[in-house]
Amino acid sequence: MLAGEPGIGKSALADAFAEAARRRGAGVTWGRCWEAGGAPAFWPWTQALRSYARGREPQELRDQLGTGAAEVAQILPEVRELLPAVPAPPELDPDTARFRLFDAVATFLRNAAARRPLVIVLDDLHVADRPSLLFLEFLAAELSTAPIVVVGAYRDTGLPRDHPLLPTLVEVARHPITERLQLRGLG
């Protein structure tokens, strides 16, 4: 997690890290939270998944999605374009549906990273929607056994005590794989 004030270099540092990972053979994908509001739920994850899926052959994508294709298609409509036979997800209560979605996306990412390590950069998490933050919490618990690195960048100035990002930061920090880097200005 990269924290700091606006303009301190969080995005530039994430970009440099992503480029170094790419040179070492990792797949890199980005998602940015939309600061102007009105973006659909899971927008940064949709962007990251879309970027990854665009470079895949339909059979490779089908294999990586596995049995969770219907769930992943809820936030990544391209799945149905590339794989028209994907059925609609079953009607479930909201909590069960959300869990199945989270599990399906996490499984997809683990399968994708099995071929080569994966770096997912999520920028501007301070304006992320709550569902995106909940998925980040879910994924943090799943990452210890996968060659996946999630880099989250956020402004840590001016966040009110009830900001939705704060419980997410606490939750992801519970996992020993999480590191927080506080960027500060130069003296």
- pLDDT tens per residue across span 100-141: 999 999 999 999 999 899 999 999 999 999 999 999 999 999
* Residue-averaged pLDDT of the chain: 94
| Residue that wins the pLDDT comparison between 84 and 143 | 84
In what helix (H) or strand (E) does residue 27 lie, and over which residues does it extend? strand 27-32
Instruction: Give the per-residue pLDDT at 185.
Output: 80
Model-level pTM? 0.93
With a CB cutoff of 8 Å and minimum separation 6, the contacts of 113 are 27, 146, 147, 148
- pLDDT tens per residue across span 143-181: 888 999 999 999 998 889 999 999 999 999 999 999 999
Distance CA 6, CA 37 (A): 18
Instruction: Give the per-residue pLDDT at 48.
Output: 97
